[in-house]
Amino acid sequence: MRHATRPVLGILGGMGPLATADFYRRFVERTPADSDQTHLPVVMWADPAVPDRTAALLGEGPSPVPALVEGARWLQRAGVSCIAVPCNTAHAYIEQLSKVTGVEVLDMIRAALEAAARRTPGLERVGVLATRGTRLTGLYERAGARLGLDVVQVPASVQQEYVDAAIRAVKGGADPAGPQRRIAMATESLREQGAQAAIAACTEIPLISEAAARVLPLVDSTEALAEAAVARLWQPADMVRTGGRTG
């Protein structure tokens, strides 16, 4: 690894491809570097063939764990310091992944909830816009309880008609106007349940969240993970200064 003396971020991505690209862009934007050369080195494994996480959790498809382990081990061999997985639903398997590989995986769920608490003074109830798989696992509910936050989800009918449909549309490359309206309507449902803020807890949702952000303060889980990655790895004193030269 060329930058062996510097911390290296591993990105275990491809779930989906656009969400992975969005995460990398946000990571770069939030790194307080002053030149190309002072940005953090990154190694990415982005395999779109990882089995669908929600289908696996619902008992309707194969486990993604073997594919996740393969990617994590490849990143380990590349010398990464820790791994970011820009997929909320995949976090249902992160504990298992860490046990098998020994790799440090940043906690996207906690990062998103902590970001919501920081950005919404007095936050007590937060709504979550997520896949059915993430809902099923209770990832946000358990993490929220540890932080003293009440987590609410949209009703099942809203999940199917608006949230699931919007996520499918983004993954399928549809015009974003329709998915934007669906996510805004789902966010309205969360507000009606007393949510003071909402979390875009599927990495496709931030791509279609502009209208939803006008309904409730909206925390982007992708952005929260990017901020956590920078906080974990950025070491200004150790950065190689190059006088601002670019490549």
Confidence of residue 240 (pLDDT cuts 50, 70, 90): very low
pLDDT digit string (tens) for 60-73? 999 999 999 999 99
9, pLDDT greater than 80: yes
Answer yes or no: do 157 and 101 share one domain: no
Asked if 233 and 202 count as a contact pair (C-beta separation under 8 A), the reply is no
Rounded distance between C-alpha atoms, residue 227 and residue 230, angstroms: 5
154, pLDDT greater than 50: yes
The CATH number for 103's domain is 3.40.50.1860
Strand order in the sheet with 197-200: 150-153, 125-129, 197-200, 218-220
Q: Which residue is catalytic, options 87, 97, 199, 226?
A: 87
Q: What's the whole-number mean pLDDT along residues 74-97?
A: 95
Asked if the structure places residue 164 within a domain, the reply is yes
Asked if 82 is an active-site residue, the reply is no
Mean per-residue pLDDT over the chain, rounded: 92
Asked if the structure places residue 243 within a domain, the reply is no
Asked if the structure places residue 150 within a domain, the reply is yes
Write out the DSSP string of 91-129: GGGHHHHHHHH---B--HHHHHHHHHHHHSTT--EEEEE
Which structural domain range is residue 125 located in? 108-221
Q: Which residue is catalytic, options 202, 208, 212, 226?
A: 202
Asked if the structure places residue 85 within a domain, the reply is yes
Asked if the structure places residue 2 within a domain, the reply is no
